[in-house]
Structure 1
Amino acid sequence: MNASDNATTILIHLAGGVALLIWAVRLVRTGAMRAFGVSLRQALQSFTRNRFAAFGSGIAVTMVLQSSTATTLLVSSFAGRDLIVPAMALAVLLGANLGTALAAFVISMDLGWVWGLCLAVGVALYLGHEAMDRARNIGRVLVGIGLILLSLIELNAAAAPLAQSPTFRTVLGALSGEPLLAVLVAVAATWLTHSSIAVILLIATFAASGLFPPATAIALVLGANLGNALIPVLDQIGAPAAQRRAAVGNLLTRLILVAALLPFAKPLSAWLNALPGPDARLAIEFHVGLNLIGALIFLPFVGPISALVGKLMPGQKSADAVVKPRHLDPSVLDSPTEALAGAMREALSLGDRVEAMLHDTMQMIEKDELKLSRAIAEADDGVDAIHESIKLYLVKVSRNELSEAESRRLLEIITLITNLEHIGDIIDKNLRELGEKKIRKRYAFSPEGLAEIRDFHQRVASGLRLALNVFATRDVALARQLFAEKAPMRDAERHATESHFERLRSGRPESIETSAIHLDIIRDLKRIHGHAASIGYPILESANALRESRLKADEEAKPEVKLAPATQPGR
């Protein structure tokens, strides 16, 4: 094998080791969240009576989750709902910083054969239990830990030859004289991987192999810490200010530490090298020391720091909150069951908004209340915003490994919000404009025509309420009832149209001038009912209660009973 092939092989092994490390850290985080998510959230809420308890809970939770980002998102969601005061939230995050450093310290120890034991036990637990079982998720955590340890062995094996490569040393040597560039590279790497533990372990492995000097390793560790604090700030852009303040306060403390220590990277590396202990662990030990010192410095000042961030980030006006989702918690995305429950609550809330729009539209048409037109248009803007938020949230949830039941529920939520968004558009773009036209032209429906519209509207509103109940209960009998209403609605539409044309033939002036508006309103209400009926389709399909083109009859849905052939009576 020539030198070029050898270098290619080493780089492939290196890339595979890095990918395995990133994936393994994610396995540990998702497994821990699914197995202990509820308990960890309760612990964070319970142990925030004072800054020391909050600090300790941050350490413990982060060491279990292997992710300070996950802890930050949890705490941010609590702060956004006023379940934890800002100062205590910041104390938890200072603990999370130290917790992720301690997790990296433990993992980086020479544990030898432990990776094999973790994989063997983890795979046995994972394959031996059902998808929703806690033991299965504990197995997932053990598999992740085993793969982390295995990836570090692979990285060490691949990095050793690279240390002898002049080309690779030249590339990495460019970072040696540019500590600020090293910080930015580490920030970018941490953001791309969304895992400071993976980046820190990678830095430590490369530094131990001699790929760059200790001063560069320190600069890279500073950058990884800064990137780790930056991730939750960027992930929560657009969230309410109260939810983002703790993460911003934590980022501020990291910026101060980096600015204070970066100019002294070389003296720090020389001092650390003079300490007893193996030089190979310099990056890991500096990472722990950095976060320990940061906690000692900033923990006494969590109150003033939180107050400063509060002044820099005042809350938005309450009027803006009406178009913000309330139940889409980003901290539970790694727990699909909880995330889908939150999305379901938000979807039902969206249904309430659309139902209110439908009610206001009838009020506007019947009582000529033009002021309702603006309210309906604004409500539709809110429906569009929440629909988009739920949709993007579900996209993130779908990146997890979902059970069959979770996949069905996700489809049901998507079906609901899509049809609700279409209903909102029909109300805003069609019915509202028809109502405005009637009011501005001073038209008036005939008493019979108005009664027909009112009756048709009541049918549609009842259908929408039934559709929301079908979604909430997943009851097949209710879904059948919703679907079966389509035929009576067609008959009602035909009857209303025939009655209207009968009045036209009799020369009723009100019917003549409102003819187009009347027929369009009936048509649009019928379209709304069609979208409402579609909400029940996934429930009926999962129960095998649909033909290819229409609902099965009750008799067809019953199991076929075969009778035994008659026998001749004995003589």
Structure 2
Amino acid sequence: MLQVITQLIGGIGLFLLGMSLMTDSLKAMAGESLRQWLSRFTGSSFKAMLSGIGFTLVVQSSTATTLATIGFVSAGVLTFAQAIGVVIGANIGTTSTGWMVALLGLKFSIASFALPMIGVGALMKLLGKDRLALLGLAFAGFGLIFFGIDVLQLAMASFAERVDLSVWSNNSFSTRLILVLVGLVMTILLQSSSAAVTATLAALASQAIDVQQAMALVIGQNIGTVATAILAAIGATTSAKRTAAVHVIFNVVTAVFAFFILMPAMLWMLTHWAWAATWDNTIIIAAFHTAFSLMGAMIFMPFIPQLQSVISKLIPEKEVETIRYLDESLFSMPSLAIATAQDSICHCLADMYRLLIKAGRGEIIGAMINTKELDHVLLKVDEYLKKMPVPQAQADQQRLIELMRLIVYTRVVREDLQHTANLDILRAHFDTEDLKEFIGIIEKLVLYFRQTPVQKIPVQDVENLERFSAQIKIHQPAIRQNIVAQSATSQVKAADALDLIIAQRWLERLAKHTAKMAILLKEDTSTI
């Protein structure tokens, strides 16, 4: 019996390791393209659901899709209503694992193919770089999945010979409920509904359990998958909590309908329809898993606006807008974590520059502007990046480097923004055309910084800012001479003349630092 238990643990471990390798590498390969894809193909709730199905089919993890969706909602790429559709689609897409196991893993002896796949994948990882190395990890993970399934099937066959589970095969309500709870606990312990469903299918194929028991277990396993979402939402952002709430409500309500309606209906069909009785048991369970996820979609899709309204009221937004993007659950998707950190900085900068514009126009006093909010955002981003693992993909590493450069420039600009009282000095003594031109250019930048997600700045606008920065530097000597001349003829007091020179120099410095930051964020960054 000890050998059987060891085989079970080993088989599950191999499956989980394979899923982890494959999912992590595919997510890293998807990178920023995932963000663009979802923002493009989620225009309606139905399209959002299809996108959720598609992405989950690719990465073979509904949890990965859910966590990515949390980030998209936080960053404003998706509305909460669209996120609901993606989560529903993810629950449908995750049933593909059951079909893969039922049609391939349990039908053929593929252990002989799995080991070469692991070997080839390992070589690709060791000898390749960037995407080839990630593809190698995905390949090795795929091999480990099927090798784990083969070990699981052998263990379950031995388990069936030693343990009699016929006591749990009666049709009573209490027995079914106990099996649902067993399935729930399996998923919580394994932290993967795919692994739990795979173990169930292996047990069914080995005749350790029957179809009715398998159905009840799968219902419980589908409920258990919400544990990961709940854990991810603890202490997380409001968007994370709302998305986790959708996940919980969808899975629990769908499980109730599956337990009381779909399971009895399918058992009746298998008993009374001769053609249905000829189906393979593992195919029946895979079809049952997909059927009750589809049933859940049909129940919830027409009521997405109402569900959105209820959850938004139950879980109101409490975070400051500029830092509500920073969600640690996004660390599994480095490109998203980096993008949300950049959005937080840019949105806060946009708020600061908007105050600068008002002060430049005399709508507010420049001396009243402070950098406390920007300091707070920079501190939160620093804390966020310290916790973020180093990304594996070279493209993500490059994005991280660009983000670090943006932070450096932001800190420099922050030092300039501490002296916005210079705007009052410039406006009080003469109507400088330089200031007016600078305000006009900054207004355009703010439009891009305020968009969600933050948009790249057009090359023409960046060039205008660079041109202004160079122009004001050239004009500085003439401006200083003019101020000194006015002071010599008593048109301007000596102290005021000094303040004007300092203020003019401050404007030149702010323009130069803003231009450097804009260069980093322009549309074509290949020349940076």
Counterpart position of 1:565: none
Counterpart position of 2:188: 191
Q: Number of matched residues? A: 377
Q: Taking structure 1 as reference, are residues 138 and 286 closer, same or farther at Cα in structure 2, changes over 3 Å only?
A: same
Counterpart position of 1:281: 283
Contact residue 184 and residue 223 of structure 2 kept, 8 A: yes
Does the residue aligned with 1:210 lie in a helix, a strand or coil? coil
RMSD: 4.2
The CA distance in 2 between the partners of 1:241 and 1:322, in whole Å, is 11
| 2:31 counterpart of 1:34 | no
Contact residue 190 and residue 227 of structure 1 kept, 8 A: yes
Counterpart position of 1:550: none
TM-score by length of 1: 0.57
- Displacement of 1:44 in angstroms is 1.2
| 2:10 counterpart of 1:20 | no
Which one scores higher on RCO, CA 8 angstroms, separation ≥ 6?
2
| 2:142 counterpart of 1:119 | no
Unaligned segments of structure 2, at least 5 residues:
349-370, 412-528
Match among 309, 312, 319 for residue 310 of structure 1: 312
| 2:251 counterpart of 1:251 | no
Q: Taking structure 1 as reference, are residues 174 and 194 closer, same or farther at Cα in structure 2, changes over 3 Å only?
A: farther
Contact residue 80 and residue 308 of structure 2 kept, 8 A: yes
Alignment of 1:1-400 (within 5 A): 7-109=1-103, 110-113=107-110, 114-116=113-115, 118-130=117-129, 132=130, 134-166=131-163, 177-263=174-260, 267-268=264-265, 270-271=267-268, 273-274=270-271, 275=276, 276-316=278-318, 320-321=319-320, 324=323, 326-328=325-327, 330-331=329-330, 333-336=331-334, 339=337, 393-394=387-388, 397=389
Q: Which amino acid aligns with 1:65?
A: V
Which structure has the larger Rg over C-alpha atoms? 1
Contact residue 208 and residue 281 of structure 1 kept, 8 A: no
Unaligned segments of structure 1, at least 5 residues:
1-6, 351-374, 421-571
Contact residue 175 and residue 182 of structure 1 kept, 8 A: no
Q: Taking structure 1 as reference, are residues 11 and 272 closer, same or farther at Cα in structure 2, changes over 3 Å only?
A: farther
Does the residue aligned with 1:108 lie in a helix, a strand or coil? helix
Counterpart position of 2:507: none
Contact residue 172 and residue 211 of structure 1 kept, 8 A: no
Q: Which amino acid aligns with 2:329?
A: P
The CA distance in 2 between the partners of 1:304 and 1:60, in whole Å, is 25
Does the residue aligned with 2:316 lie in a helix, a strand or coil? coil
The CA distance in 2 between the partners of 1:322 and 1:286, in whole Å, is 43
Q: Which amino acid aligns with 1:84?
A: L
Q: Which amino acid aligns with 1:14?
A: L
Alignment of 1:414-563 (within 5 A): none
Identity %: 26
Does the residue aligned with 1:83 lie in a helix, a strand or coil? coil
Q: Taking structure 1 as reference, are residues 159 and 25 closer, same or farther at Cα in structure 2, changes over 3 Å only?
A: same
Residue by residue over 1:271-299, the C-alpha shift from the partner in whole angstroms, topping out at 9 and shown as x without a partner, is 36442311233322211111122222322
Counterpart position of 1:524: none
Does the residue aligned with 2:99 lie in a helix, a strand or coil? helix
Q: Taking structure 1 as reference, are residues 77 and 253 closer, same or farther at Cα in structure 2, changes over 3 Å only?
A: same
TM-score by length of 2: 0.61
Residue by residue over 1:130-177, the C-alpha shift from the partner in whole angstroms, topping out at 9 and shown as x without a partner, is 2x3x12111211111111111111111111121121367779999995
- Displacement of 1:339 in angstroms is 4.6
Contact residue 31 and residue 335 of structure 2 kept, 8 A: no
The CA distance in 2 between the partners of 1:170 and 1:66, in whole Å, is 35
Q: Structure 1 stretch 338-347 or stretch 47-56: which is displaced more? A: 338-347
Residue by residue over 1:250-288, the C-alpha shift from the partner in whole angstroms, topping out at 9 and shown as x without a partner, is 321221122223245763452364423112333222111
Contact residue 49 and residue 89 of structure 2 kept, 8 A: yes
Q: Taking structure 1 as reference, are residues 315 and 283 closer, same or farther at Cα in structure 2, changes over 3 Å only?
A: same
